[in-house]
Structure 1
């Protein structure tokens, strides 16, 4: 088998994918963070992003169902606890619904996923299937978009607090928590990928998995921008402004 490039070169390759492809560069995020979104555009983002957030623990549970290493299971299950919480009223999903409430949405409507864009649903469901069905190395590598998440969370916290009346300690608590959770998760995930990608084929598979994940994130914003910004073509069944409000 072909000898793989060294560990440092492989890590640099992974980080370059984020530099080129991470969704912090999408026009919708620039609009959101600069205060350019209307209240309904913010609501549309909250509704669609909720679908992604709600499927993360399902993705991780599917992954854990095929992990035979107890050490890996112990580490990975913290991701489910981060999103679901360890008791009622805790966890990332609960905090996201506090954001939904803050922007004037009924949390029950948001959690029903009724108004999710078709493209969001397809992209997120494809990600869950990828982690469930692909070999272990690309399944883990697909999570490494968390390498690039702290910057976008910092930009988002600053932008929301500066430009939007709904932003306060409670409504943006999801992002504050992720500033601590994401680096911890990615430190483990990156180390695991670097340790297990021992051939050129392994490294290519891991890099391609990370590219796939960036495309999952980017495609969600493309759909959001098309439906609610330009040209403003909302597909049948997706959220219409005025629906699902408190």
Structure 2
């Protein structure tokens, strides 16, 4: 996706917090990956089993790096209260103990779709384009200031609506995926809304100058491009490519999702 983020370079006056919020939400409205053709087909119910399994397997590479990028962001905070609050995101994905958390729930999604846990954990199966997109996001959070890294997480503002759409689509079009496997999506409806509002509050408070505000908008656009690029890689890979196997996962099956 190559849309250009619009900024007003002719004036150095900062936007009001509400105008900054409007500009951030406009980025998500225009560039969020719910509009990607692969996601559109997923929600229309026209993906094959192989395509859906390929997405589940490769998206897991992103999922398992969420607590990594959040740990990198947390390390930038000087305020203990901020660190305590942000550490909740890590616990949400890693869990309080073994067998809990978002990463575990994604593994169960894979199992519900017929992908062995060992296949999901095998990083050698990850598509190169997916690996590049995820590495780019992790390194962005490692190297950029806290404002930029937090602003990049604002895709969470769009996550609840996407999760609701996805749950309905999976229940309607992909009944071959066991219902228990949708637990991750259900949990992210509430978590995504909470995390997005929390991050938005920080960005509104920190981005005081026009330069800071434009950096925040650009950071969110970058994150949208990461998610879009991930789907480009999955969409462009054929059955039998890295990211799924033709064994227990049944990736060679080419019937449409609801068949």
- Give the TM-score normalised by the residue count of structure 1: 0.93
RMSD: 1.6
- Decide which of 219, 224, 229 is 1:219's aligned counterpart: 229
User: Separation in 1 of the partners of 2:249 and 2:35?
Assistant: 30
**2:247 equivalent to 1:239:** no
Distance 1:168 1:197, change over 3 A: same
SS at 1:2's partner residue?
A: coil
The runs of 5 or more residues in structure 2 that have no matched partner are 1-10, 251-259
SS at 1:223's partner residue?
A: helix
SS at 2:65's partner residue?
A: helix
Q: Output aligned runs, 1:16-27, within 5 Å.
A: 16-27=26-37
Give the structure 2 partner of residue 136 of structure 1: 146
1:168 Cα deviation after fit: 4.2
Q: Output aligned runs, 1:42-53, within 5 Å.
A: 42-53=52-63
**2:129 equivalent to 1:125:** no
Q: Which moved more, 1:167-176 or 1:192-201?
A: 167-176
1:17 Cα deviation after fit: 0.3
User: Separation in 1 of the partners of 2:152 and 2:160?
Assistant: 17
SS at 1:192's partner residue?
A: helix
1:241 Cα deviation after fit: 4.4
- Decide whether the 8 Å contact of 1:46 with 1:100 is kept in 2: yes
User: Separation in 1 of the partners of 2:249 and 2:177?
Assistant: 17
The runs of 5 or more residues in structure 1 that have no matched partner are none
User: Separation in 2 of the partners of 1:241 and 1:105?
Assistant: 9
1:65 Cα deviation after fit: 2.2
- Decide which of 92, 106, 109 is 2:119's aligned counterpart: 109
User: Separation in 2 of the partners of 1:101 and 1:26?
Assistant: 25
1:33 Cα deviation after fit: 1.2
Give the structure 2 partner of residue 206 of structure 1: 216
1:5 Cα deviation after fit: 1.1
Q: Deviations over 1:142-171 (max 9, x none)?
A: 000001111110110000000112344410
Q: Deviations over 1:8-33 (max 9, x none)?
A: 11100000001110000011011111
Q: Which moved more, 1:107-116 or 1:137-146?
A: 107-116
**2:96 equivalent to 1:86:** yes
User: Separation in 1 of the partners of 2:145 and 2:94?
Assistant: 25
- Decide whether the 8 Å contact of 1:161 with 1:168 is kept in 2: no
User: Separation in 1 of the partners of 2:28 and 2:111?
Assistant: 32
